[in-house]
Structures are given as structure tokens and as C-alpha cells.
Amino acid sequence: MKRLFQISLLLAVLVTIASCGRQQSGQLTGVLDRPAWKGINPYGMVYVPSGTVHIGPSDQDVSNTFVQRQKAISIQGFYMDDTEITNNEYRQFVYWVKDSIAHTYLEHFMEEDEDSDFDEPRIDWEYEIDWEDELLEELFYQGDDVLAGRREIDINNLVFEYEWFDWQAAAHDKGNSPRNTFIERKKVNVYPDTLVWVRDFAYSYNEPMARNYFWHPAFDDYPVVGVDWHMANAFSYWRTKLWNAYEGGVTSEDFRLPTEHEWEYASRGGRDLAPFPWGGYYTRNAKGCLLANFKPGRGDYPEDGGLYTVKADAYFPNDYGLYNMSGNVAEWTSSAFYENAYSFIHDLNPDIRYDAKDDDPEADKRKVTRGGSWKDVSHFLQTGSRHYEYQDTTKSYIGFRCVLTFLGRSVNDF
């Protein structure tokens, strides 16, 4: 008994000594053994350093000064996708949702089968899905919905739930309510609305684009369209989970849509007051070549090289390395649209949000879009021009790109 006590005492002393050497030294050293943070370099993104920008239209644009009063603001550094999210990049999201649902189906049916030894986790990417398995038939169009005998996934099944935390509401609540009060969730169908190509243009033959734009390899590197604001947010949420799952260690900030002023700041490429990403006052270079994909003149769509959209990395990038910040497709931002927003926004990382519910008035669902598109005149291509679209609508001329807030300060920020 005495020997057992001595051994226990010795072990306690050893543990104490070890802990002292590792954590306790009598000095204020902070919590040790913290994971190292060396920064990140997300694939396909460029760094936009912190800085100040004068937002709003030029002095010559008198009419727009009523809704875009000039203001100097400061923006924290962030990473931004160098191109708009492409069809092929978004297709990775669609495939992930499709495979996840298939795994869920197989798991459900296998669990019901007592003779089955299926014990794979819900999302096991090592388990190859047999799409001919009769257990997955419910995922495909059935009966009269089958077209030309083709076996096609029913896109109505491609539903993904994303969630977010309402930091503004939580901050004003001051801890008086349970945490789950501020956690919001929404289910969205992630498949792009390909019918926008037909619906957006009356008396115009665009069915080939509706049939091919999202799926044909010819359009893999073109910007995805037909995604509403919620779908863009769902993609950003999924991308964050994907990044954190494979990156390991310390998680970064979330991928998200840019605020409208982050977007404007990035689009100028470090050229304050520049009306276009390339800096000049004209949409053509010295040789007369158009510098973006838009609707030039009175409607000579193909003059700029693209009848509709063009590849996401077409034309020259701005000085930050960002492509098509003007033209090609307009881009969703996280900001709610208010005509007089410039009158009351803060000058430090300005941001106005409102998470409108499905039954809210239409005016409350307006979200700022920036950059202009392939079907817009040059006015909407200006870095200071702002427009809006409703968050639950899809268009053939609106896409998006993601940003990621930079943590810490870079030497470039000094």
C-alpha cells in the first residue's frame, strides 16, 4: 500500500514538472502550444490590400449624385476571386450536392436492409456511387417527365441547406437571448435556372443557350448565370466547408459575397476615382479595340468579341489582377440596396444588410449588383455605377465572385 502511494506521488510530481516546463514558468507567456498561422493563399484568388477609396460618381454625373453622394471610405484587405465563378466551378458544387443526396439515399435503404453490411458514413467520397442502382431511381425524372428516353437527374431534388449567424442582431441583443435565436437557415435548389436565356428576352431565339450553357464543355470557363442571391450565398457556405475540411488546422474567415464597396474598391485596381477598371475614360484602347464585354453603340453585340458572355478571364485584368470587373456579367454583392445609403453609411468598412424573408415586400429584397453585363450599355460598366436586382430572381446576365477577409496585416498594408 505504501509502495503504491509512493508511485502515485512520483507520477504526480512528474506531471507537475512536465506541465511547468510546458505551460507554467512564473512569467506571463500567454497560452502556449497554439497553432501557427502563416497566412493563406487561396487558389484562384488575388490579394486586395487595405486602403481608402472615394466612392460615388464623378462630378460630371449630376443626376446620380442624388443616390450616390461622394464619400471617402476605408476598406480592410481581402482576397477576391480573380474571375467570376465559372460554370465548371459551380458544377463542382452541384455534383457535391448530387453525390451527397445519393449517399444519403443509399445509407437509408441499406440501413433498412438487415442483410446488408453497408456501414459507410453519409458523405464518403471513397465510396463510388453506382448511378444505375435501382435504389437511386427516385432521383431521376420518372414517367411523363422523361424526355426523349434520357435518364436525367431531377433537378428539383438538388436542394442544399446553408446557414449563417446574424451578428448584427446578436450585437444589439447583448446576450439576452439564446444563441440559436440568431442562427438562420435556408434551403435552396442549387441547380442554375437555365431558362433565364429564354425568359429574359421576349421574341428572341435563345433556346440553344438554355440547353447548353451550363452543361456543354464549350462553356466550362464562362461565368455561371441563372443563380439568385441565395444560391450565391449557399455556394460560398459550401466552399467554406470544403476549404476547412481539406485545409486542416486553423480555419480561416468564411468565403462570402463582397460588400458593394469592397467590390468598387477592388474594381478600380488601386486607381482612385478611376471610372473603369483599366483607369481611362473610354471603353476602347488607342487601337479602337473594346476593353470589355458589353453592348456597344446602338446594339452591336458581337463587336467586342462575344455575342453573349465570354470566358471569365477574357480581356486584360486590372492592376490587382481581377478580370472582367466591368462587363461580361453583373455581380451580386452582399449589400442591401437603398437609394440614399451613401448618406448614412460608416466610412470604415461600410456595409448595409437586410436578410429579407420570403414574404417580405419586394422593395426589401433588393440587393446591389455591380459591374454591368454583356447586355448593358457602357454607363453600367463604370466602377461607381450601382444597380439592384431582387434576391430571389435569376438572370442570364448576373453572376458572382467570392471574397475572403484577410486576417492580420500584410507588409503591403503599411
Nearest residue to 339 via CA among 400, 388, 276, 381? 388
Task: Give 329's DSSP letter.
Answer: S
Q: Which fold has domain 45-83+227-236+248-413?
A: paralog of FGE (formylglycine-generating enzyme) (3.90.1580)
Q: What are phi and psi of 95, to 5 degrees?
A: -65, -40
Q: What are phi and psi of 5, to 5 degrees?
A: -65, -40
CB atoms within 10 A of CB 409: 12
Contact predicate 210/68, CB 8 Å: no
* Domain locations in the chain as residue ranges: 45-83+227-236+248-413
247 CB-near residues (< 8 Å, 6+ apart)? 40
The answer on pLDDT for 413 being more than 70 is no
Distance of alpha carbon 44 from alpha carbon 367, whole angstroms: 25
Residue 182 CB-density burial (10 A; 0-12 exposed, 13-18 middle, 19+ buried): middle
Contact predicate 86/224, CB 8 Å: yes
For 335-345, the pLDDT digits (tens) are: 999 988 888 89
Q: How far lies 144's CA from each of 96, 147, 148, 149, 150, in Å?
A: 27, 8, 10, 10, 12
Give the per-residue pLDDT at 306: 92
Q: Lowest mean pLDDT: which of 185-194, 247-256, 362-371, 377-386?
A: 247-256
- What mean pLDDT do residues 207-230 have? 97
C-alpha cell at 133: 442502382
The length of the chain is 414
168 CB-near residues (< 8 Å, 6+ apart)? 353
Distance of alpha carbon 219 from alpha carbon 160, whole angstroms: 24
For 15-59, the pLDDT digits (tens) are: 454 454 455 678 898 888 887 777 788 899 999 999 999 887 655
The answer on pLDDT for 118 being more than 50 is no
Distance of alpha carbon 256 from alpha carbon 232, whole angstroms: 8
